[in-house]
Structure 1
Amino acid sequence: STNYFYSTTSITMMNPPAPSSPRFTLELEFVLSLANPHYLSHLAVAYPQLLGITSSKDSKDSKDSKDSKNSRDSRDNKEKDDSEAFAAYLAYLYDYWRRPEYVQFLSHPGATLRALRLLQEEAFRVAVIRPQVIDMLSQ
């Protein structure tokens, strides 16, 4: 079990970091990475649960034992929690990186803010796993 970012509660209580802090550098590097469509594709493939992309493999099983259903329900709840926490983290990042005092640090502000804005939409987070979406973003 991996703890990816922060809980939804802790994110809403966070303030943007000072530019001299290590967290500022970490978050700057992360938001700059989000401007790269191929990095978004990597996130969608490697960590689909963060983006709310569900696995269709498990839902195709016709024989459900009670234990496997409970296990799947538990995993689905964790994936939903991960997805909600990541969405909250993205909202937190978008909220402060678009402010003038922070946007000045972005090497590619247009692409970075566009990616952060798109990632606010659940439909986009789910669709980003499709190669056509990545191709469209790459143009």
Structure 2
Amino acid sequence: MEPEVRPAPDPNDARQRFLLELEFVQCLANPTYIHYLAQNRYFEDEAFIGYLKYLKYWQRPEYIKYIMYPHCLFFLELLQNANFRNAMAHPASKTV
């Protein structure tokens, strides 16, 4: 069996991932968007919950300097809690 040939990592891929994750984490500053995620059952997906946990790296000093909406990190922290995620599915939670 021949070894798998992989292309060399493209630095643009890392930049693209950085920008996409930055954009997504900042979307969490919007309670209406969090409500949308809850209504569409994203918070029932363990892989998505794992992704939210992974995104906590944005709280580190070397990354936080890129955040324009710092309250997104507050919501990211709240989203680590299952009770908060469940509460966000309630219609009144649209305007936290």
Q: TM-score, normalised by structure 2?
A: 0.79
Distance 1:107 1:29 in 2: 10
Aligned mate of 1:32, from 11, 17, 26: 26
Q: Is 1:131 aligned to residue 63 of structure 2?
A: no
Give me the whole-angstrom Cα distance separating, in 2, the residues matched to 1:92 and 1:118: 14
CA RMSD of the aligned region, Å? 1.6
Measure the CA separation in 2 of the matches of 1:86 and 1:122.
13
Q: Distance in 2 between matches of 1:134 and 1:39?
A: 8
Give the distance between the partners of 1:31 and 1:97, measured in 2 at CA: 8
SS of match in other structure, 2:67: coil
CA distance, structure 1, for counterparts of residue 37 and residue 51 of structure 2: 15
- The alignment status of 1:89 with 2:83, answered yes or no, reads no
Percent pairwise identity: 46
Q: TM-score, normalised by structure 1?
A: 0.56
Q: Which runs of 5+ in 1 are unaligned?
A: 1-19, 53-82
> Offset at 1:44?
1.7
Quote the Cα distance in structure 2 between the aligned partners of 1:43 and 1:85. Answer: 14
- Paired residue for 2:36? 42
What is the CA-CA distance between 1:132 and the residue it aligns to?
A: 2.5
Mapped to 2, the partners of 1:25 and 1:108 lie a distance apart of 15
Which amino acid in 2 is paired with 1:97?
W
Whether the 8 Å CA contact 2:35–2:94 is kept in 1: the answer is: yes
- What secondary structure is seen at the aligned counterpart in 2 of 1:21? helix
Q: Residue 120 of structure 1 aligns with which residue?
A: 80
Unaligned 5+ segments in structure 2 are: 1-13
Aligned length: 84
Deviates more, 1:21-30 or 1:122-131: 122-131
Q: Please state whether the residue corresponding to 1:125 is helix, strand or coil.
A: helix
